[in-house]
């Protein structure tokens, strides 16, 4: 638009340069940005989403462990209550442990001289390694009571829903392209609705592809003769982004509900803008103003009405 407002486009065409030659730098830049966005959507996007979830999950687990105090009954594990007499500040080893854990058949009460808490990655559970203790079991069905001594015992404790934070399962946004394709194949073989997976898979390509389409449609719109290049360029860019967003969300909504083929749902906005870009680019290449196309279309619609 700046070149057009300064009559540089006219000078270029007068010197024998066609629109195709003028457009080469823009298209080359669009291809470079397209390649960079392919790397983002294929690798960095799922990597970032997965690591953010791991960070939130780790913060939740850390908060659960850090909330354990000496001489206080801790009831934030699901179906269990924990009491620790002493915690070594340097090693985190717990001493004088009592755990009351509810089971479908009754209660288990663990007494241990000492123990260590471990919380593995990608899990909403905590594992207590209890050392030198005993477990007292009460069976409400058989009305029996038993005691078992142990030298070492591994006990799994599930964090309550309010403390677990984020589920450790990976969503589509956290899967790499090949993993998402494998998941799509599995869902399809099981006979489930595969539309959301097809849309998520193809969006990894359609979003970068929109860069090439914006370049194609932006060139003929940008070289139109205008007085205020900066304001006009911003307005055109904003309008294109809004139009693309509206088309994309509309087609995706139709695809998710099964009213439109998933492939067309995810590629529909790109196809519409690509066709519009080809028409506008051809108009500009034969030195026909874009405004003439819109006015002609408007007259045709008026006559039809």
* Main-chain dihedrals φ then ψ at residue 194, nearest 5 degrees: -100, 5
Q: Which two tokens stand for residue 38?
A: 């392919």
Please spell the DSSP secondary structure of 6-42, one letter per residue: TTHHHHHHHTT--HHHHHHHHHHHHHHHHHHHHHIII
Task: Measure Cα distances from 267 to 146, 169, 205, 274 in Å.
Answer: 65, 28, 9, 10
Q: What angle do CA 279, 210, 194 make, to 5 degrees?
A: 115
Separation of alpha carbons 219 and 242, rounded Å: 18
Q: Record the pTM.
A: 0.59
Nearest residue to 166 (alpha-carbon basis) of 261, 61, 95: 61
**What is the pLDDT tens value at each position of the chain, 305 positions in all?**
777 777 788 888 888 888 888 889 999 999 999 999 999 999 999 999 888 877 776 665 555 555 677 888 887 777 888 899 888 877 778 899 999 988 877 888 999 999 887 765 555 677 888 999 999 988 877 778 888 899 999 888 776 654 444 445 677 888 888 888 888 888 888 888 788 888 888 889 999 999 999 999 888 887 776 655 567 777 878 888 899 999 999 998 888 888 888 888 889 999 999 998 899 888 888 877 665 554 554 454 445 54
């Amino acid at each position: 638009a700046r070149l057009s407002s300064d009559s540089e486009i006219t000078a270029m065409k007068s010197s024998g340069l066609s629109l195709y030659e003028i457009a080469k730098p823009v298209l080359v830049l669009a291809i470079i940005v397209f390649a960079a966005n392919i790397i983002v959507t294929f690798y960095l996007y799922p990597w970032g989403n997965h690591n953010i979830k791991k960070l939130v999950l780790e913060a939740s687990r850390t908060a659960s462990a850090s909330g354990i105090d000496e001489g206080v009954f801790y009831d934030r594990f699901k179906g269990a209550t924990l009491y620790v007499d002493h915690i070594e500040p340097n090693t985190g080893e717990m001493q004088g442990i009592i755990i009351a854990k509810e089971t479908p058949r009754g209660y288990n009460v663990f007494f241990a001289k000492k123990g260590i808490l471990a919380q593995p990655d990608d899990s909403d559970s905590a594992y207590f390694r209890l050392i030198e203790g005993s477990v007292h079991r009460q069976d409400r069905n058989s009305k029996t009571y038993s005691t078992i001594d142990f030298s070492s015992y591994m006990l799994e404790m599930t964090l309550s829903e309010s403390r677990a934070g984020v589920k450790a399962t990976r969503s589509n946004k956290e899967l790499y392209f090949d993993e998402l394709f494998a998941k799509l194949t599995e869902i399809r073989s099981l006979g489930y609705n595969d539309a959301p997976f097809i849309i998520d898979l193809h969006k990894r390509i359609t979003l970068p592809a929109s860069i090439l389409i914006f370049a194609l449609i932006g060139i003929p719109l940008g070289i139109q003769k205008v007085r205020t290049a900066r304001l006009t360029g911003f307005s055109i860019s904003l309008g294109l982004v809004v139009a693309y967003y509206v088309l994309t969300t509309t087609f995706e909504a139709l695809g998710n509900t099964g009213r439109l083929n998933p492939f067309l749902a995810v590629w529909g906005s790109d196809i519409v803008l690509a066709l519009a870009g080809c028409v506008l680019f051809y108009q500009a290449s034969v030195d026909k103003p874009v405004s003439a196309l819109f006015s002609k279309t408007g007259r045709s619609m008026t006559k039809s009405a």
